[in-house]
Amino acid sequence: MAWHRPLPFLLPTLVFLLAFTYLPFLIAAWQGVPALGSLAQRENANALRVTLLYTLLTVPLSVALGLLAALAVEGTSRLRLLVRTLVFHPVILPTVAFAAVFLYLLNPLGPLQGVLRLLGLQNPLGDPLGAFLAVVLIGVLKDAGLYMLYYLAGLQALPKELLEAARVDGAGRVATFLRVTLPLLSPTTFFVAIMATLGALRNVDHIFVLTKGGPVGATDHLLYRVYVLGFEYFHFPQAGALTLVLLTALTTLALLAMPRLEKGVHYDG
């Protein structure tokens, strides 16, 4: 097929993407170029640190939780269906609503008061570490259900012969999981890990609801900072500059990570 054949079919989408996503983005980034020098501020450095920590924590945790949940609820018994629904439920809730529930739960005099006190967190959202952990927790719980679905699909597609062969060879459950299931699931893991990383860098709705970047900047995610710079301080050039930096970092990360990660991935057929 000639390379230009699909173009007419892509055109409608392309027009809208250009008009409402790419073009405004390029304009904003362009306006940001002169402000690049002004980014060396303590607040931005802090936001970078917060974002890295947030990503490093939420990605492995939500992927692991998704996998564990999938293994736990594989099958069709009633109880498993119930658990599956529970884990999946946060996915279909709007993040803002989900976060608002936690605003109530994590209130210093709220229903979890006793549990929180045991953890030494009397007022989690009013404490830098507590607020950061709360934001991580919600990020993980919100998306783990979706990853569970991917893993469930992945598990169902596993070739049964290999699992049987492993059993015949006398491999235990743990060995089967580590040596057979997990490597066979690697395409799913690869995909889910990328989704989770993008999610950690893009989804900040719960920060708006729960912490507004505080206290003392403990949850000041880069993307939230872009919003604050642009739409609360109205320093549009700086917001554009920070967007540009964020994009460059992401692209570099993707280019570096893709080939390395893919090496370890098993693709069937």
Return residues touching another protein (CB under 8 A): 103-104, 107-109, 113-114, 117, 122-123, 125-128, 130, 211-212, 214-217, 228, 231-236
Indicate the residue among 199 and 237 with the shorter CB distance to another protein.
237
Indicate the residue among 154 and 240 with the shorter CB distance to another protein.
240
CB of 49 to another protein, least distance (A): 16
Indicate the residue among 55 and 219 with the shorter CB distance to another protein.
219
CB of 170 to another protein, least distance (A): 54
CB of 112 to another protein, least distance (A): 13
Q: What is the 3-state secondary structure (H, E, C) of the chain?
A: CCCCCCHHHHHHHHHHHHHHHHHHHHHHHHHHHHHHHHHCCHHHHHHHHHHHHHHHHHHHHHHHHHHHHHHHHCCCCHHHHHHHHHHHHHHHCCHHHHHHHHHHHCCCCCCCHHHHHHCCCCCHHHCHHHHHHHHHHHHHHHHHHHHHHHHHHHHHCCCHHHHHHHHHCCCCHHHHHHHHHHHHCHHHHHHHHHHHHHHHHHCCHHHHHHCCCCCCCCCCCHHHHHHHHHHCCCCHHHHHHHHHHHHHHHHHHHHHHHHHHHHCCCCCC
CB of 216 to another protein, least distance (A): 5
Indicate the residue among 36 and 249 with the shorter CB distance to another protein.
36
CB of 68 to another protein, least distance (A): 32
CB of 114 to another protein, least distance (A): 8
CB of 5 to another protein, least distance (A): 38
Indicate the residue among 147 and 224 with the shorter CB distance to another protein.
224
Residue type, 192: V
Q: Report the distance separating Cα 107 and Cα 169, nearest Å.
A: 54
